C-alpha cells in the first residue's frame, strides 16, 4: 500500500511539472488563420495553453496575470483554453502534448522556447528576458 502511494505521488509530480521538459525544436507558425497574431510592438509573445479547469493551469493563472501586468507593452500575453472549440483550433498549430504548455515567440513569430507543465515565475521570467532588450 505504501509503495502504491509513493508511485502515485511520483506520477502526479510528473504530470504537474511536465517533467520540466523543454522542446528544442524551433518553429514558425504558418497557419495565419489559426495562429496567434504577433505584433512588432512586442518583443515576445507568451502563449499559455491550458484550461480553466486544469489544476496545474489554475496554478499558472496568477503567474500569467503578474507577467501581463509587469511586462505590459513589451510582452503580449495570450491564454488559450484548449478545452474549448475556439481554443482547440487556435492551439492546434502548436501541437501540444500536455497542459499547461507555455510557448514563447520572438517579435517575428518564431518559437524560441517551450515548456510543459507548471512553470515557476522565476524561471519563466528568465525565458522572457532572453529576448527583451535591457
Predicted model pTM: 0.73
Segment 24-52 mean pLDDT: 66
The string of pLDDT tens digits covering residues 63-111 is: 999 999 999 999 999 999 999 999 999 999 999 999 999 999 999 999 9
Check 16, 54, 59, 125 and give the catalytic one.
54
How many angstroms separate the Cα of 113 from the Cα of each of 11, 27, 103, 104, 109? 25, 10, 6, 5, 12
In contact, 93 and 71? CB cutoff 8 Å:
no
The CA-based angle 51-57-58, given to 5 degrees, is 100
The CATH code belonging to domain 2-129 is 3.40.30.10
Tell me: cis bond preceding 100? Omega within 30 of 0 counts. yes
Rounded to the nearest integer, the mean pLDDT of the chain is: 80
**Interval 35-48 mean pLDDT:** 79
Say whether 54 is catalytic.
yes
Q: Per-residue confidence at 134, pLDDT binned at 50, 70, 90?
A: confident
The catalytically annotated residue of 36, 47, 49, 57 is 57
Amino acid at each position: 500500500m505504501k509503495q502504491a502511494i509513493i508511485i502515485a505521488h511520483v506520477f502526479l509530480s510528473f504530470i504537474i511539472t511536465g517533467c520540466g521538459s523543454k522542446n528544442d525544436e524551433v518553429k514558425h507558425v504558418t497557419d495565419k488563420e489559426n495562429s496567434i497574431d504577433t505584433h512588432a510592438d512586442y518583443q515576445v509573445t507568451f502563449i499559455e495553453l491550458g484550461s480553466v479547469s486544469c489544476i496545474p493551469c489554475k496554478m499558472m493563472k496568477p503567474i500569467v496575470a503578474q507577467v501581463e501586468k509587469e511586462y505590459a507593452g513589451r510582452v503580449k500575453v495570450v491564454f488559450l483554453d484548449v478545452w474549448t472549440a475556439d481554443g482547440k483550433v487556435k492551439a492546434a498549430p502548436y501541437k501540444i502534448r500536455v497542459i499547461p504548455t507555455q510557448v514563447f515567440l520572438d517579435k517575428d513569430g518564431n518559437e524560441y522556447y517551450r515548456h510543459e507543465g507548471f512553470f515557476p515565475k522565476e524561471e519563466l521570467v528568465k525565458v522572457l528576458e532572453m529576448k527583451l532588450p535591457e
